[in-house]
Structure 1
Amino acid sequence: MWTEENRPRYNRDHLRYPSDLTDEEWALVEPLIPPGKRGGGKRKVIMREVVNGVMYILSTGCPWRYLPKDLPPKSTVHDYFSLWEWDGALDRIHHELYVKCREKAEREASPTAAIIDSQSVKAAEKGGLAWTRTALMRAS
């Protein structure tokens, strides 16, 4: 909630880029980053900087080639982003952060209700349930 009391928590002026993670945000994300390959040496790149690079691209919408030079090379950031997208790590990170946000707000981790605006939902053109029953009978 935006109050004068907690406003400093949302201030990003001290960061290099507004998309960079604060120490508090990094503490939440770091344990969710997949470990390096088994048997591989120590990573040569700082993972926080890779995540900052991904956040920069996602928040600005700019092409990869416009990634600032003080972040890891675009190929490195893109390779990690592609790997995390492919192996589902981004979905897992998103889910974990979503659950933590809901719990912090003292809400259920998974919402149990949804509201659908019937004016904006297109009705089935072919008889709904009867059509489904016919399709199931044909399939069996």
Structure 2
Amino acid sequence: MTDAEWAVVRPLLPVPGWLRGRGGQPEAYCHRAMLDTVRYLVDNGIKWRAMPADFPPWDRVYAFFRRWRDHLLVREFHDRLRDRVRDRAGRDTERPPA
């Protein structure tokens, strides 16, 4: 992910609980590294366990992704990003009810 892409994506991500004073510990890997790893996985169509060694361990990335997915954060992130793209293109950001 380029610095320009990260500048757009970072504000759309949820703030970890420990940064909001809700307790807990800082995460071991930064969100940028985790997103880069998930993007690599999707782009190359590989299995979680086949992740190259220069990325965080596959089980930590999978746990991160699963936690976001289970709390519907992946969908929320996708929707926020789509709305931003549609807004910049001058299109309506409202989605029809599901």
TM bucket, shorter chain: 0.7 to 0.9
Aligned partners of 1:111, 1:34: CA distance in 2, in Å?
A: 21
Q: 2:5 aligns with which of 9, 18, 25?
A: 25
Q: Matched residues, percent identical?
A: 33
RMSD over equivalenced CA pairs, Å: 1.6
58-67 or 34-43: which moved more? Answer: 34-43
1:100 aligns with 2:67: no
In structure 2, do the counterparts of structure 1 residues 106 and 64 end up closer, same or farther at CA, with 3 Å as the change threshold? same
Contact kept, 8 Å, 2:12 with 2:81, in 1: the verdict is: no
1:42 aligns with 2:15: no
- Distance apart, 1:111 and its partner CA: 6.1
Q: Which residue of 2 aligns with 1:76?
A: 60
- Distance apart, 1:31 and its partner CA: 2.2
- Distance apart, 1:47 and its partner CA: 1.5
1:53 aligns with 2:40: no
Greater than 6 Å deviation, 4+ residue runs: none
Larger radius of gyration: 1
In structure 2, do the counterparts of structure 1 residues 111 and 78 end up closer, same or farther at CA, with 3 Å as the change threshold? closer
5+ long unaligned stretches in structure 1: 1-20, 113-140
- Could you tell me which amino acid in structure 2 is paired with residue 67 of structure 1? M
Greater RCO structure (CA 8 Å; 6+ sep): 2
Q: What is the aligned length?
A: 92
